[in-house]
Amino acid sequence: MSDVYLGLGSNQRARYHLRSCLQQLESQFGQIDWSPVYVSPAVGFDGDDFLNMVVKIRTNLTVEALHQWLHDLEDRHQRDRQQPRFSDRTLDVDILLYGERVQTEGIVLPRGEITRYAHVLKPLADLAPELIHPTERKTLQLLWQEFAAAQPDKLKLTTL
């Protein structure tokens, strides 16, 4: 079994889709842990704010099988795959970390967005502050402190 961290985001009926996603993750993987929920501006396009959070699951699925299961989960939430990459979303679920695995082909791990976006790094650091990033070799808490010192934080805490 591996600890896997998933980034969740939505800006269309966000609370509904995130709550439903959490229920389905728990039904599939058993006990899950999750971070606080943050409101963040859309990135790469003009759109409504997103709600973002990170969830920890434990699984023995392969990365590819988990990715397919998550893709199907997004589809069950009417994810429109005809839209541009940066667009409104009912549900977006990304594998951020899969144990200490590093993959550079196919599904890239750890996901690069961890160190690029506050809406990914902050909830991840909240959930697992002492976890060491597999390629940066720093704790997530330290990565967040460095990130926050370098650029202003536009995140706001919210609830589901």
CATH assignment at residue 72 = 3.30.70.560
How many domains does the structure of the chain reveal? 1
Which of 45-49, 83-87, 125-129 comes out lowest in average pLDDT? 83-87
Mean pLDDT along residues 91-102: 96
pLDDT digits (tens, 9 = 90+) for 58-72: 999 999 999 999 999
pLDDT of residue 45: 80
Residue 139's domain comprises 2-158
Predicted local distance difference test score (pLDDT) of residue 46: 85
C-alpha span between 91 and 75 (Å, rounded): 9
Taking 90 as the threshold, does the pLDDT of residue 7 lie above it?
yes
Long-range contacts of 41-46 (CB under 8 A, 24+ apart): 41/154, 42/11, 42/86, 42/88, 43/86, 43/117, 43/119, 44/85, 44/86, 45/84, 45/86, 45/87
Is residue 83 very low, low, confident or very high in pLDDT (cuts 50, 70, 90)? confident
* pLDDT of 152: 76
Give 23-41 pLDDT, tens digit per residue.
999 999 999 999 999 999 8
Q: Is the pLDDT of residue 81 over 70?
A: no
